[in-house]
Structure 1
């Protein structure tokens, strides 16, 4: 019975947060769409909950890819950030 209770609580925690974008997301960095606040234009044709990527180069020359999610109020949430590795093909 104890194991069943633990599993029930774990599953409840998984299902109640699904589909919720209430978190603050990642903090914007220079180059992020939301670095100087939310964009003035709203994404009115994109469905709430949809996501899109944005790729830019940060101040250290690294390639950064951020994934944004459109919230119900049409603001953007930075859901993921990935730094792409920089490879040099020069052996000099």
Structure 2
């Protein structure tokens, strides 16, 4: 379904940003977070910047989810959390 496709695409894009050395406050990273949250909002999922930050904090605290993200790329769970925090702090 399109939600699974978006989740996979988002993770692939964010992992690529991490692998290519982008910082969590890079405009490309923040734009992709914005796109992802807009998609979630359209689907009726919790999608505020605070919701996203809370979710990434859960991912770090929960061993299953942290391991799942870290298997995609070492450091990814933490990069995602930092991107969520930067995005929330920079929302206008």
Fold match (TM-score > 0.5): no
Larger Rg: 1
TM-score (norm 2): 0.25
Structure of greater relative contact order (alpha carbons < 8 Å, 6+ residues apart): 2
Give the structure with the higher percent helix.
2
Give the structure with the higher percent strand.
1
